[in-house]
Amino acid sequence: MTRQVVTCRVAGWRAVLVLMLFAPVLFGGCHAAQDRTTSLSRNIEKKDTGVVPLRYARRFTMERAGDATLVDIVKPAGAKLGVPFRYLLVPKDGTVPEGYPDALVVRTPIERVTCGIGLHITMLQLLDELESIVGVGRAQWIGNPEILEKIDSGAVLETGLSGAMNMETVLSLQPDLTFVFSSGSDTDIHEKLLAIGIRPGLSSMHLEEHPLGVLEWIKFFGAFFGKEAEAETFFAQTAERYEALERLVRGRFGKRPGVIVGHGLRGVWSTHGSSAWFIRFLQDAGADYILENPEDYEENPISFEHAVNVGLQAEYWVNPLYTAVSLADIVEDDSRYSQFLSVRKGNVFNNNASSFKNGMNAFWETGMSEPDIVLADLVRIFHPELLPDHELKYYRRLR
């Protein structure tokens, strides 16, 4: 995700869950915009069609309906966050199949889009579709140099984000789709976009429970561009490398080093948007996340006092204050951190070692497209003997 921005208790790309916009909305039937918005908020009974297998993603599904593809954004049972939504992707020269009256029809391949954050841009870059981007949320939250050059030249416009989105700018761009984050929270904007005839492309990738689940959303993006094969190839190759490394670590350690994530912020402990997928990173790297129950991680508030008590004992500390490049930066933020075991042993690592020319942290924009490299970084941190030759890319040790 592009950079770490604080939401209610968490800074990070979740706060950047902002919004982009697009062209006229087409549904399978001729309903009024108000009716469309209401109907799309419901879970729809699925038709018996060929399921497209997904290995790790749990927040969307794909099914074949003849030449069309049915894509469902899923809110799993019991989940606190998420919103259901349905698309019917139909080739431009194809016939819209009957039986999906509540699906948003999108003719593919799409050619003009807007993106809210850097991770969306990275997904399109991996699909060789940067040229399709005509608008982005805010330049200050993006690191991709090619897109920034296009912003400077006026070839790509800033649309604004969420409530600050400039609807006139978006409409002037006439995009086919606008990729927006969706959490089922007050920051969601897709219903407002639908109401004014703008087609949203909902992304809940940040809510996935596994790093490869986040990456598998490249298949979601690829489906809109008719690049399912390219998306599958990239995902499969990356997953193979990740899984091989996870197998190297698995079962080797009876006692794993304890680790905490984040830092104090206005009386609470912020984990910088490090959701369940990041906790899985730590587990697969052979560490024990001891700050809270890793089996129940979904935006749970953490008290500062609890985090400090745990931090005094944790052997490692990762993703602290996102601007910190030294232990002095950490202690200056709060003198109590000097008593943390990780600080005293020099085992504090920040995920800000890689950045773009404009200073943007690359972890949130490109790191999630390279989960195998992020995992290798973490394995090198917690168990250096397993990867003695690996050089950290996204992480740095604070000294």
Q: What is the 3-state secondary structure (H, E, C) of the chain?
A: CCCCEECCCCEECCCCCCCCCCCCCEECCCCCHHHHHHHHCCCCCCCCCEEECCCCCCCEEEEEECCEEEEEECCCCCCCCCCCEEEEEEECCCCCCCCCCCCEEEEECCCCEEECCHHHHHHHHHCCCHHHEEEECCHHHCCCHHHHHHHHHCCCEECCCHHHCCHHHHHHHCCCEEEEECCCCCCCCHHHHHHCCCCEEEECHHHCCCHHHHHCCHHHHHHHCCCHHHHHHHHHHHHHHHHHHHHHHCCCCCCCCEEEECEEECCEEECCCCCHHHHHHHHHCCCEECCCCHHHCCCCCCEHHHHHHHHCCCCEEECCCCCCCCHHHHHHHCHHHHHCHHHHHCCEEECCCCECCCCCECHHHHHHHCHHHHHHHHHHHHCCCCCCCCCCCCCEECC
% pLDDT > 90, the chain: 69
The mean pLDDT of 363-368, rounded to a whole number, is: 95
Residues of CATH 3.40.50.1980 domain(s) within the chain?
Answer: 5-238, 252-397
The mean pLDDT of 70-78, rounded to a whole number, is: 92
CATH class entry, domain 5-238? alpha beta
Q: Which one has a higher pLDDT value, 270 or 202? A: 202
Q: Is the pLDDT of residue 14 over 60?
A: no
- pLDDT at residue 193, as a whole number: 83
% pLDDT > 70, the chain: 85
- pLDDT at residue 299, as a whole number: 56
In the structure, what pLDDT confidence band is assigned to residue 70 with cuts at 50, 70 and 90? very high
In the structure, what pLDDT confidence band is assigned to residue 322 with cuts at 50, 70 and 90? confident
- pLDDT at residue 241, as a whole number: 98
Q: Reply yes or no on domain 252-397 having CATH 3.40.50.1980.
A: yes
Q: Is the pLDDT of residue 33 over 70?
A: no
In the structure, what pLDDT confidence band is assigned to residue 300 with cuts at 50, 70 and 90? low
The mean pLDDT of 293-315, rounded to a whole number, is: 82
- pLDDT at residue 74, as a whole number: 95
Highest-scoring range by mean pLDDT, 195-204, 273-282, 359-368: 359-368
pTM: 0.85
- pLDDT at residue 296, as a whole number: 60
- pLDDT at residue 213, as a whole number: 98
pLDDT digits (tens, 9 = 90+) for 247-284: 999 988 888 999 999 989 888 898 865 578 999 999 99
Q: Is the pLDDT of residue 294 over 90?
A: no
- pLDDT at residue 273, as a whole number: 58
pLDDT digits (tens, 9 = 90+) for 104-159: 999 999 999 999 899 999 999 999 999 999 999 999 999 999 999 999 999 999 99
Q: Which one has a higher pLDDT value, 254 or 340? A: 340
